[in-house]
Amino acid sequence: MDDLAAARDLRGAPLPLRVRDLGRRAYEPVWHAMQAFTDARGPQTDDELWLVEHDPVFTQGQAGKAEHVLFPGDIPVVQVDRGGQVTYHGPGQIVAYPMIDLRRAGLGVRELVDRIEQAVIDTLAHWNIAGARREGAPGVYVAGEKIMALGLRVRRGCSFHGLAFNIGLDLAPYAGINPCGFQGLKVTRMLDLGGPGDPAAVKPLLVRELGRQLGLDPRPAPPESFLQP
């Protein structure tokens, strides 16, 4: 079977991907809403993609090591249930949460990671920025510096959490951590690479590339109903 066949309806058309742009929000309410959505969804629930810019926060993965949080200052550190180590979220960064029924999509976790990475690589290419993978360190890198971090969780065959894509955010808080658990890892942002600094300029292309990689049809949905599965 074609790996996208399960993500198409009986007419062969891609199934919808409901896209909700949540604007700027605190981290924890969105995290808990993702958990609730995943727990409540059923076999017929459409997949969703939530886009958000978070208030400044460090998030630590479920197996995260405290030694990678060096000096957080007054930025809160939240222990969460995704994979990976500590990372930073803040204004000027696109955080995208693809909540995908992996069984229906015919995807394994490794392939989902590959497709998310490829969507970001293809988005960067629109601005002639060469993104690349790094063996053993999920995410996307430009000249060895990380521009997109990735941490997922799968529950009941469905994904949540997602990616953090640096567009124009202040990179200074990364000095307070070992990003993604790698001492001395440098981070970068599109603004410093000749791309835009406004996430609004990047979101439509990122959504399009994610839809293409996942074999789904992105359709806007109202942000105010993001708590409803």
What is the DSSP pairing of strand 16-25 with strand 217-220?
Answer: parallel
173 vs 58: CA distance, rounded Å:
9
Please count the residues of the chain. 229
Burial 209-224 (b: 16+ CB within 10 A, else e): bbbbbbbbbbeebeee
Q: Active site residue: 105, 164, 180, 216, which one?
A: 180
CA Rg, the chain, in Å?
A: 17
What is the DSSP pairing of strand 145-155 with strand 87-89?
Answer: unpaired
Is residue 180 part of the annotated active site? The answer reads: yes
171 vs 64: CA distance, rounded Å:
21
Catalytic residue numbers read: 180
